[in-house]
Structure 1
Amino acid sequence: MPLALGPKLRYLVGRARRIDIGSVIERAKEAHDQHGKAVPAVVVDMLWSAAKHDVAFQDYVDYDFAMLTKQERATFMTHPVSMQLAARFSKPEGRAIFEDKIAFNKRFADHLRREWMVVTDDNAEEVRAFVERHGTVIAKVPVSHMGLGVRRYHAADVEDWAGFHKRLLESDEILLEEVIRQHDDIAAYCPGTVNTTRIVAFFDGTDVHIIAVAQKFGRGAVSDQMSYGGFYTMLDPETGHALSAGYDSHGHVHETHPDSGLRIADFQLPRFDEAVALIDRAARVVPEVQYAGWDVVVTNDGVDLVEGNWGVGVYENKPSVSGVRTGNKPRYRAAMGF
């Protein structure tokens, strides 16, 4: 089933209007520094790849397209293609559940292993009891993206509970959650951040297909997203073992975790089969969203579902780090039939 021409044309028109040639040149310089290709040639190649093959400029850099052949490039999923697929395989009523963290927690309550509550105008005492019981809590803005709108609060730091309750309401940080206690093997890499696993899956109406798995690592901040200094490595989708060192979209490669010194390529996700089984169940709950990126945290006792993302971010192999010059697009095609 080919991708619809209309969405692609709208994407190209929108991208042409927003193009920042200075940004393109900066990314081309990154490719030059990494692979020795002439900047003008890279700029032309980037623009052609975007127009002809739906390759975002950052995808071009992240996936080392400057060092790959045409055939190798064709094996990588890109953000523009992923977004077209997300639009095709989701409906507005399903997206609304995924976009609102409170609605998501309510719908997926059976798959959550942590306590949570909603801050309202009249529950200041309940908020105090919740925070004091857990000691440290995570506060979230219900509708936010890329790990933004997430803060960590400690009961010991709160002197004015009425004022604290008021600030939560005013900042729209109205979803409070117990801090997930991650598995000891994961905490060994970075105990200061809850390190999530991204599992990309597709529900075809009968079976759930696991397409790609990435392990994210934080740097001690409240989130493991790149905007907080985090990075990731791809995991073998059959075993849950790391395929290479870690990397991010800022040119940083991590052979070891900068804080713990543990080797990223040695990482094995504990309870991997349980994580896959959880997604097999969760992916069926909202059939209006067939294609999603699921974030889970493995604990000593099981696997906790953090959130689902209908606008699926792409996590791919980085050839210059792993030595593997192919991506996951064939797995997407086999599962989704495009």
Structure 2
Amino acid sequence: MPRFLRKAAIALRRFIVSLEPTSKMSKRILVAAYTFVLVLFGRYQKRKRSAVRVIKNNLPPEDAENQKKINQIYNEILYCRFMYQINAKEYFTYQFEKLSHTGRKLYLTRGNKYRFYRKFNNPNYLDYFNMKTETYRKFSQYYKRDVLPIYSEEDYPAFLVFVGKHKSFIYKPSDDYGGHGVKIYRVEEYESLEDLFKILVFKGYCVLEELIRQSDEIARIHPQSVNTTRVVAFRRDDGEVMIQWAFFRMGMGGSHTDNMSGGGLGSMVDPETGILYEEGRDYLGKVHLFHPDTNVKIIGLQLPEWDQLRMLVKELSNVVPQVRLVGWDFAYSEKGWDFVEANSRPQCLTAQITTINGRLHQYLEIEEIFDQEGIEYAG
């Protein structure tokens, strides 16, 4: 699509959304018009196939083959995609079928959150967050474990030293996100160290990390996974840091990952005290007062040395001041709070699904602060 046409389409969409077309008739007209545009640009069939798969996965078996019902839900998803910029998974995850227009407007979605990241975070500095090799180079002093960036065959001597200390380690592709490509390697499973190194180098830039040994008080919740804490924070122009939200992630069912999308649980953390104030919830929204595997009570759990973590977040947020809204991940190890990684486009799912409440107002509030700072600086 030509740039001028894309801009015109965005402006038209914003105008239509501002009219808040919520009556049955206006919905029908909007869905018909949106369908026509998708067909015109050849996107309708692919988008519908993808959405229908999600719809069937979220319907009871007796409704999964009911084409009339599927079409009704798909039309509602199309409407919500236009109005609130959600995708089909978000429609079910955030239970949009139960929400009014007012309730739906409260949510940060896959479509509306990225404008904030583009606005707050200078793209010239994003490699420090998007490339794990560069993250380590910039934030190396905050890692409490051994990390080795791998760029080429010239790193083989350093690799030999690393595996001499760590017979098992975590491999992470440099451009990994959401845990994709992460794997535990064990030296004993390979005929030679040279063969193992060739496999790693062939995959491209990466980092090798010493396995995190989490403290007993955190491991008892779910020992098979490293259970991590995400803190989403906004850095003001004066260097002060505003924590937007924090949540704690736990593995479940013996899984090695704590991500909700990978079958884990999430619970919100009070940013002031470090106390978990919500039950654990999984990706499907099921509530767990106690961890289903270990029977550890989730709500009321106190995360250790929370004041130290808050200070660490402030310090980290000022290392690259040009990137102002970041999701910081930590694990509490035997050595204290250990920096895991940072995300310049933090996901908002856990924070919204665990409280069943949208967080768009928080991004709008910091946008006001950001804009005001710009005015003051210009003045």
Give the distance between the partners of 1:228 and 1:142, measured in 2 at CA: 20
Indicate the structure (1 or 2) with the bigger Cα radius of gyration: 2
d(CA) in 1 for partners of 2:204 and 2:86? 36
| 1:251-290 matches, cutoff 5 A | 253-290=287-324
| Cα-to-partner distance string for 1:115-136 (whole Å, 9 max, x where unaligned) | 1113341443432332231332
Look up the match of 2:10.
9
- Please state whether the residue corresponding to 1:279 is helix, strand or coil: helix
Letter in 2 for 1:177: E
Judged with a 3 Å threshold, the aligned counterparts in structure 2 of structure 1 residues 100 and 73 are, in CA distance, closer, same or farther, namely same
Matched, 1:237 2:238: no
Q: Which moved more, 1:306-315 or 1:235-244?
A: 235-244
Q: Using a 3 Å threshold, how does the CA distance of structure 1 residues 227 and 156 change in structure 2: closer, same or farther? A: farther
Unaligned runs of 5+ in 2: 1-5, 14-33, 64-68, 372-379
AA in 1 matched with 2:325: Y
In the alignment, is the contact (CA less than 8 A) between 2:212 and 2:226 conserved in 1?
Answer: yes
Letter in 1 for 2:118: A
Partner of 1:190: 222
| Structure 1 residue matching 2:126: 3-state secondary structure | helix
Aligned partner letter, 2:48: I
Count of equivalent residues? 326
Give the direction of change, closer, same or farther, for the CA distance of 1:317–1:283 in structure 2 (3 Å limit): closer
Given that residues 121 and 169 in structure 1 are in contact (C-alpha distance below 8 angstroms), is that contact kept between their aligned partners in structure 2?
yes
Displacement, 1:238? 2.9
- Against the structure 1 CA distance between its residues 94 and 312, is the aligned structure 2 distance closer, same or farther, given a 3 Å change threshold? same
Q: Is the 8 A contact 2:173 2:181 kept in 1?
A: yes
What residue in structure 1 maps to residue 19 of structure 2? none
| Relative contact order, higher structure (CA 8 A, sep 6+) | 1
Is the partner of 2:106 in helix, strand or coil?
A: coil
Aligned to 2:343: 309
Amino acid at match of 1:298: Y
Change (3 A) 1:222 1:159: farther
Query: 1:205 is paired with a residue of what secondary structure?
Result: coil
Task: Give the gaps of 5 or more residues in structure 1.
Answer: none
Find the aligned partners of 1:216 and 1:251 in 2 and give their Cα distance: 14
* 2:147 and 2:208 in contact (8 A); partners too: yes
2:77 corresponds to which residue? 46
What is the aligned partner in structure 2 of residue 126 from structure 1? Answer: 158
Verify: 1:65 aligned to 2:96, yes or no. yes
Equivalent pair of 1:257/1:264 in contact (CA under 8 Å): yes
Matched residue SS, 1:81: coil
Name the amino acid aligned to 1:50. R
Q: TM-score normalized by structure 1?
A: 0.82
Q: 1:216 aligns with which of 249, 263, 266?
A: 249
1:21 paired to 2:77: no
For normalisation by structure 2, the TM-score amounts to: 0.74
Residue 252 of structure 1: how far off its partner (Å): 5.4
On the 8 A contact 1:295/1:307 being kept in 2, the answer is: yes
User: 1:1-23: CA deviations, max 9, x gaps?
Assistant: xxxx959929x89x953762244
Aligned-pair CA distance for 1:152 = 0.9
> How far apart are the structure 1 equivalents of 2:304 and 2:183?
27
Partners of 2:9 and 2:340 in 1: CA distance: 31
Question: Secondary structure of the equivalent of 1:296?
Answer: strand
Shift of 1:271: 2.2
Number of the residue aligned with 2:179? 147
Comparing 57-66 with 250-259, which one deviates more in the overlay? 250-259
Q: Specify the code of the residue in structure 1 equivalent to 2:349.
A: Y
Which stretch shows the higher mean deviation, 247-256 or 276-285?
247-256
Alpha-carbon spacing, 1:238–1:72, altered in 2? closer, same or farther (3 Å) = farther
Partner residue of 1:164?
196
- The percentage of aligned residue pairs carrying the same residue is 27
Question: Given the alignment of the two structures, is residue 113 of structure 1 paired with residue 114 of structure 2, yes or no?
Answer: no
